[in-house]
Each structure stands twice: as C-alpha cells, then as structure tokens.
Amino acid sequence: MIWGARKMDEEHERYRKFCSRANLDKTINSLLGIIHGITADSRILDSELVFLQEWLAEQAEFVSYHPYTELLPVVEAALSDHVLSGDEQADILWLCNKILSSNYYDRVTASMQHLQGLMGGIISDGNVNEEELAGLDAWLIKHDELRTCWPYDEVAALITGVMKDKKIDENEQRELKAFFGQFTAIADSRVVIDPPGLGSVRGICAVCPEVLFPKRMFCFTGSSYKYTRKQFTELVVKLGGKVTNTVSQKLSYLIIGADGNPCWAYACYGRKVEAAVELRKRGYPVMLVHENDFHDAVADFSGV
C-alpha cells in the first residue's frame, strides 16, 4: 500500500505542471518572454530559434492536454520551416494572451464547448424543432456573460429571427442546419465548415459564397491541405487578386484553411477570424470563406 501511494504521488508530481494554473501561467509567460526577447532587435538568429525549440521540447509530454493541445501545435508549425514570420509571432502571442485570460481558460472555453455540444445534440437527428430552439435560447439567456463573445450574438440573433412567427419554415430549417453545422464537433472533434444549404449564413463561413478575384484583397488563415502560403499568393495574383497578411477594412475575403487543429477549443477560430468578425459587425463586407469553397471558386474562375 505504501508503494502504491508513493507511485500515485509520483504520477501526481509528473503532471503537477499540467494541473497547476500557476505553473501553466509560468509556462505561457515564459513563452511570451522568449518571443519578445528573440524579436526585440527585429532579427531572429538560428540560435534563438533553437532556444524556442528547447522550450517546445520541454512541454512535449503535455501535448495531449488542454490548453497545450491548442498552443504547442501552433508553435511547432511555426518552427517547422526554421523561420518565425511576423504573422506566426502574432498568432502565438494572441493565443498565449487568450490562454492566460481567466475568462478564456475557465469560463468561456468551457461554455463555448458546451454550446458546440448543445448545437450538435440538436441537429444529431437531422432536424431542428421549435422546442429545441426554445431550450437553446434559454441556455443562451442563462449564459449571457458570453454576450461579448462571438458567436453568442449571432446564435441569439438567428434564433430571434427564426422564431418571430413561432415556427420554422423550410428555408429557416436549412439555415439553422448550416449555421449549427459550422460550430459543431462531430466524431473527431473537427468543425464542419461545409454544411448543406443555399444562400449565406451568419456564421464563421459563408455558404456557397460568390468569390471574385480581379482587384479583390485576400488573406489566408489556418493550415491548407493543398497549398503553401507562397502557392496561395501566386494563384490569387495570377487570377487578378491581391494578397495580404493583415485583416483590415480593405480585405475582401478571409480564406480559412481546411486542415485545422482538431484539438482547438475554438476549432478554426483564431486571431484573424476574430478581427474579420469585428469588421463585419462594424459593417465592412469582409467575407469568411472555407478553403473548399475557395478551391471551387478557383476552378470556376479558371474554367477548369
């Protein structure tokens, strides 16, 4: 019994770094310090990247645990080409600050995952009815502390619009399925961003969007299963468009990569998506487009 208790203590000690919020904060703050330190002179040397890789190696045993599941793959992907671009730096810093926020880590993350599961349960039978929407609406009211967190407002607005006449017609049924599908983790925890339906939807990605290239400004976020960033840029330019790494009022399309991290609590939600959604709320016509729809638009525009 003494041996068993000692072994249990050893196991607890092994994962103390993961379980302790103080140690998690220390880990994240160390990463923030490293990023700021190696970029302070606007030059990143190979030896500085090695130092960052050593930090990554120290956290490797926790890669299966939240929130390391979100952070470590981002750092690993950024270092895969032995270059830390300004865009990659910004993504890492954004995610670190989100994780350090008690709102994100404790309350918002749990509630957002609950909301995803709730919407998944509602459409698991392939249909959305009035009672289910009433139950979802009651949950949203109970969790109104999320009111400043997207997509809370859009879910609430959709329910209000659909239930004005207290019934769900055929078009509204399609819209609800399309919207819920965009935020629902199915089986492997990936988010479905290519739901059935027609028209546009007030969610992360437009459904069947019209994508034009000449003189339009494009930005890409996430990971692509088909293109490198260089290939993406060359393709857009060839078709008459322009590419930027920044989400601004001049942006026409934010293309969201299909090869997302299945462990993210916010799925393909990220820094650029957050910025694009804020622009949309302010009235700017930025369209969020899933990578699969982008490929279809390229094929249509090229006549392939």
Q: Render pLDDT for 186-215 as a digit per residue (tens, 0 to 9).
A: 433 333 333 333 233 334 677 678 899 999
User: What is the tens place of the pLDDT at every residue in 151-190?
Assistant: 676 778 788 888 888 889 988 888 888 777 665 544 333 3
**Helix 68-79 with 21-38: angle, nearest 10 deg:** 20
Task: Give me the DSSP letters along 111-138.
Answer: HHHHHHHHHHHHHTTS---HHHHHHHHH
Which two three-digit tokens encode residue 194? 């290519």
> Looking at residue 297, what is its pLDDT?
92
Report which residue type is found at 47.
S
* Burial tier of 232 (Cβ tally within 10 Å: 0-12, 13-18, 19+): buried
pTM for the full model? Answer: 0.54
Residue predicted with more confidence, 84 or 218: 218
Q: Domain residues of the chain, as ranges?
A: 2-100, 104-185, 217-302
d(CA 161, CA 158): 5
Distance of CA 149 to the CA centre of its chain: 13
Task: Specify the DSSP class assigned to residue 217.
Answer: E
Q: Which residues pair with 243 in a beta bridge?
A: 218
Is the pLDDT confidence value at 299 over 70? yes
> Looking at residue 139, what is its pLDDT?
86
Pick the CATH number of 217-302 from 3.40.50.10190, 3.40.50.300, 2.60.40.1730, 3.40.50.720: 3.40.50.10190
